[in-house]
Amino acid sequence: MKRTEIDVSYVELPNEFDAFIRGVKIYDSSCSPEARVLFIERDRGYFLKSAPAGSLKKEAELTRFFYSRGLSAEVLAYISDKDGRDFLLTSRVQGEDLTHPTYLDDPKRLCDVLATTLRELHSLDFDGCPVADRMADYFYTAEQNYRKGIFDKELFGGEKYKNMSADDAWRILCEGRDLLRSDTLIHGDYCLPNVIFDKWHFGGFIDLGNGGVGDRHVDIFWGAWTLWYNLHTDEYRDRFFDAYGRDEINGDALDIVEIAETFG
């Protein structure tokens, strides 16, 4: 996880955080244009995430839920300010994310722990989860993006969708959407940067805004994808499926997830 020290005097933050950040080093740890993430070097470390108003509310709720299960960071504050911004302050999950060289340098072990950790997540009780039907939101987003003309058939770097139009993809998605059900606790963005380990021991999950009660194949798909993307090879795809357990994997459902993701 990259961290670049910054001068906090140039960062506009709500007054509630003034005393918290005073006199300590602050680092920019952002990894996407949608949100800014600051690492605060105080105590054992904290992260302060900011994004447009309302966009972090669901992440705050889900992080609290996952924390109650011992699976994520503690939420210390969620603020939606009058200037149209959300702020989410959490404790640091001890360890490093799975893109750290410690893990990338041992790809077989990395593949196996990524798969078994996911299978354990999917076995957990989800009673009380604040997002009870993640797939409803999932399909709604796909439909909205389809109607906006958003369709990235090059997203996965292969030839699979080379000759497929957005209309063809949308038709396939509509025909197969019943294969996906909201019956499992999922992360929703199950990629190496969002899983924290401490010396090969599970620490917790971060960036939970797309989580909730959804279909396991969303996480399975992204688990295989992140190994391909970060290891620059598809060599570990079958190993990942084997370690997770092929008894719970439906190839047709995986295809529907991949189609859905072309619509963002």
- Catalytic residues, by residue number, are 189
Long-range contacts of the stretch 41-44 (C-beta < 8 A, 24+): 44/91, 44/92, 44/94
Other beta carbons within 10 Å of 261: 17
The Cα 241–Cα 220 span in angstroms is: 8
The Cα 226–Cα 119 span in angstroms is: 16
Tokens of 236: 């570990």
Contact 211, 135 (CB under 8 A): no
Which residue type does 150 have? I
CA 238 to chain centre: 22
In which region does residue 93 sit, left (phi positive, over 0), alpha (psi from -120 to 50) or beta (all else)? Answer: beta
The Cα 245–Cα 117 span in angstroms is: 12
CA 30 to chain centre: 14
Angle at 71 between CA 246 and CA 220, to 5 degrees: 25
